[in-house]
Amino acid sequence: AVYVHSAVAKWSVCLHTVKLRDAALSVVHVQGRVLVALADGTVAIFRRGSDGQWDLSQHHIITLGSPQHSIRCMTAVSGKTVWCGYRNKIHVIDPVHITLECTVDAHPRRESQVRQLAWLGEGVWVSIRLDSTLRLYHAHTYQHLQDVDIEPYVSKMLGTGKLGFSFVRITALLISSNRLWIGTGNGVIISVPLSESAGGSLALSRVGYRTEAPGVGVRVFASDYGVTLGSFVPYCSMAHAQLSFHGHRDAVKMFVAVPGHGGQSAISDGTQPAMLVLSGGEGYIDFRVGDGDETEEGLERSSAAVPNPDEHGEQSHLIVWQVQSPLPIDMNG
């Protein structure tokens, strides 16, 4: 079922409930449409009526495949299409005309599963279940542009014999502040700056801030060049990656980015927008010292927080980073 709440007032009160044919796994809003990915391999599409109100009495269904397999992820791309991960394929849906626009094979093995999708500019990053390699596709031509394997980087930074790091799988993915945030099944969090080329040149300069000094270079394109706002391909290079020594004891479950404030942070000068990036997962660990419970301070903190760890297991934790955004506007909006 889908539950509808007000985003303005009394958000705790459910306004409507819509029964669907199977469990809802993902919800996306784009161009006046709401798409709901279901566990039976279908997408339910809701739209507004002639009076501008949401028509919840009926919806359209697009079938992507067998009901034995679910749609694992879904994201809006360029505000025009919606990409859906189903088995080893990516299905691109036109939400306005309610049609299937294209199908892309993201992995040669049919038993593989597309698990995460992250879009920025003219590129979409894709992760595969039980795989350490990220794949970049062009948002409009669907061309396969780049592969990035994070396993050698994680092994180099933390070693292969520690906490099972010889097997690295990607479990969470986010693009925020012009960086690709990657979470793994080992609780490791990596942030990689996005660039205009695989070599690593910066994707966007900080053009547009009134605080810039005179003489700052601005790239100018002819009108027939075809470049629009955000029209760059977000390549990344692990040579510029940063690994956080703060992580989770189990898989990173999710990332969320929200607008933040500079405050008194040393990285903030109060003139540029800041973002807060949150990771969610079970437990907390500082990889520089190993499992926090192995230290005296960790034992005290653990025993105070969880009276009986065997009964309650690891507590859920949020880890928060404050990041200065290099963009004057939200490119994901």
53 within some domain: no
Output the pLDDT for position 159: 78
Per the CB < 8 A criterion, the answer to whether 139 and 119 are in contact is yes
Q: How far is the C-alpha of 325 from the C-alpha of 328, rounded, in Å?
A: 8
Can you give the residue range of the structural domain that contains 188?
113-205+227-324
Output the pLDDT for position 290: 67
89 within some domain: no
325 vs 306: which has the higher pLDDT: 325
Q: For residue range 71-86, what is the model confidence (pLDDT) as tens digits?
A: 999 999 999 999 999 9
The average pLDDT across 254-277 equals 71
Please state, rounded to an integer, the average pLDDT across all residues of the chain. 82
Output the pLDDT for position 79: 93
Nearest CA to 226 out of 141, 117, 154, 287 is that of 141
Per-residue exposure over 296-323, b if at least 16 CB sit within 10 Å of its own CB, e if not: eebeeebeeeeeeeeeeeeeebebebbb
User: Which of the four pLDDT bands, split at 50, 70 and 90, describes residue 271?
Assistant: low
163 within some domain: yes
User: Which of the four pLDDT bands, split at 50, 70 and 90, describes residue 328?
Assistant: very low
pTM for this prediction: 0.80
Per-residue exposure over 258-286, b if at least 16 CB sit within 10 Å of its own CB, e if not: eebeeeeeeebeeebbbbbbebbbbbbbe
Structural domain total, the chain: 1
Alpha-carbon 220 to chain mean position: 31
Token reading at 57: 């009495």
Q: For residue range 95-144, what is the model confidence (pLDDT) as tens digits?
A: 999 999 999 999 999 999 999 999 999 999 999 999 999 999 999 999 99
Token reading at 311: 């009964």
User: Which of the four pLDDT bands, split at 50, 70 and 90, describes residue 288?
Assistant: confident
User: Which of the four pLDDT bands, split at 50, 70 and 90, describes residue 198?
Assistant: low
Burial of 199 (0-12, 13-18, 19+ CB in 10 A): exposed
Output the pLDDT for position 232: 86
Per the CB < 8 A criterion, the answer to whether 275 and 177 are in contact is yes
Output the pLDDT for position 260: 80
Output the pLDDT for position 309: 43
Residue 327 pLDDT > 60: no
Which DSSP letter does residue 160 get?
S
Q: Which amino acid is residue 49, in one-letter code?
A: G
Percent pLDDT > 90 in the chain is 65
159 within some domain: yes
85 within some domain: no
101 within some domain: no
262 vs 49: which has the higher pLDDT: 49
Q: Could you tell me the CATH number of the domain that includes residue 314?
A: 2.40.10.480
Q: For residue range 143-164, what is the model confidence (pLDDT) as tens digits?
A: 999 999 999 999 888 876 655 5
Token reading at 177: 């502040």
Output the pLDDT for position 329: 34
Cα–Cα distance list, 74 to 47, 81, 168, 204, 237 (Å): 18, 11, 23, 26, 25
Output the pLDDT for position 166: 57
Q: How far is the C-alpha of 178 from the C-alpha of 166, rounded, in Å?
A: 29
Output the pLDDT for position 313: 61
272 within some domain: yes
166 within some domain: yes
